[in-house]
Amino acid sequence: MDINVAVQALRDPFGVPFYPWVFQLLMVLTFALHILFVNLAIGGLGMAVYAHYKGDDYYRKLSKSLAKVSTISLSSAIVLGVAPLLFVQVIYDPFWYVANLLSAWWAMAFLLLITLGFLSTYVFYLKRHKNPQGFGTFGILALIFILAAGAVMSILSVQALAPKQWLDWYTAAGRIATTGTGLYKFELGRFTHFIVPGFINIGIFLMIYAWYFQPRADLDKAYLKWLAKVGAKIAKVATMIEVVIGFWWLIKIPSSLGFMRNPFLWIGAVLGLLLLAGLMKFEDNPEKAAVPLAFFSFIAILAMCVSREVLRMVYVGAFNYSIYDYPLNVDWGSTVLFFGTFVMGLIVMAYPLILVFKLGRGTLSES
């Protein structure tokens, strides 16, 4: 079987309804937002569980706050995850659908794992104070379910980039694999490269938390100061670990792809190192640098997502596949409707978000 021909044949014969580069741009942007909230959900839940069992007054307050943050972040991550998944199905459909069919049972189990993780997170948030030891277990279960769901999605993404192995997987052990129960390719470095930033970003979130509530006279300033320093420490250590993991994953990428020479890779690496330098510089007064470091962290996430997409293009390019060669049948009606509702949604959301922001800081009267 000529895999290059097979990949081309699996494309949607009707083509795409708008220019592929637009879908690609939106896919990278929405995936960056999705990953940001995934980071906050995982990092927040991990720290909430740790603080829950740590037990003193400050840690109990921290656990309560982060448990709530985790529920909100997980909800946001689920909603924002739909968009990049749909864009992938539009422009990388031959790769994505084959990977999902090979592991169809797990693709469906992903939904169950996310649901169980979501429910366990809410039980932990709402009930942990009634029976600290018993309901603390739900926080641990939530973390396990969410990480398992992330591992499944990571495996499907990696399997999609290995067309040369599809036939071997499909005919494993001398029989046709029609059950969809197999998981064939897991890269630990790639997976942890997406998980460790959860603790970077939850650390920066704690710094933002301290900065945000600083103007409030009704809050404990010593607690906010402690929170900012704890956040800075977590973010600094996690960033160091992430740098090591990033280079570990990098050396696992086949040298034949020439990704080491890709400028987007090194832009992302430099941004990561600059973030680490910023965290170390403002370690004594982290709340003062919270906003610029949060902005910088998102830019680093965005750069990582761009690098990820460039790497995917390199992988599929080895099979003479390019999204820019996809047949184009422009559908202006659906496109205008999509962008129109998107822009209107931003406008409608802007005012209440600004209002809530000012109310939370206690600065509404200043406007």
Q: How many CB atoms lie within 10 A of CB 156?
A: 21
- Confidence (pTM): 0.90
8 Å CB contact between 323 and 7: no
The pLDDT score that the predictor gives to residue 7 is: 87
Q: What is the pLDDT of residue 28?
A: 95
The partner residues of 187 in beta bridges, in order of sequence, read none
Q: How far apart are the first and last CA of the chain?
A: 68
* pLDDT for res 148: 96
Looking at this protein, which amino acid is placed at residue 184? Y
pLDDT along the chain (367 residues), means of 10: 81 87 94 94 94 85 90 92 92 92 94 95 81 76 95 94 89 78 89 92 93 83 91 92 86 78 77 83 83 89 89 90 89 87 83 77 50
Q: How much is the pLDDT for 366?
A: 39
- At 232 the pLDDT is 92
pLDDT of residue 1: 60
Amino acid occupying residue 9: A
CB atoms within 10 A of CB 34: 21
SS (H, E, C) the chain: CCHHHHHHHCCCCCCECCCHHHHHHHHHHHHHHHHHHHHHHHHHHHHHHHHHHHCCHHHHHHHHHHHHHHHHHHHHHHHHHHHHHHHHHHHCHHHHHHHHHHCHHHHHHHHHHHHHHHHHHHHHHHHCCCCHHHHHHHHHHHHHHHHHHHHHHHHHHHHCCCHHHHHHHHCHHHCCCCCCCCCCCCCHHHHHHHHCHHHHHHHHHHHHHHHHHCCCCCCCHHHHHHHHHHHHHHHHHHHHHHHHHHHHHHHHCCHHHCHHHCHHHHHHHHHHHHHHHHHHHCCCCHHHHHHHHHHHHHHHHHHHHHHHHHHHHHHHHCCCCCHHHCCECCCHHHHHHHHHHHHHHHHHHHHHHHHHHHHHHCCHHHC
Domain locations in the chain? 3-330, 336-367
List beta partners, residue 16: 328
Residue 129: its pLDDT value, please? 63
Within 13 Å, how many C-alpha atoms sit on residue 265's CB side? 16
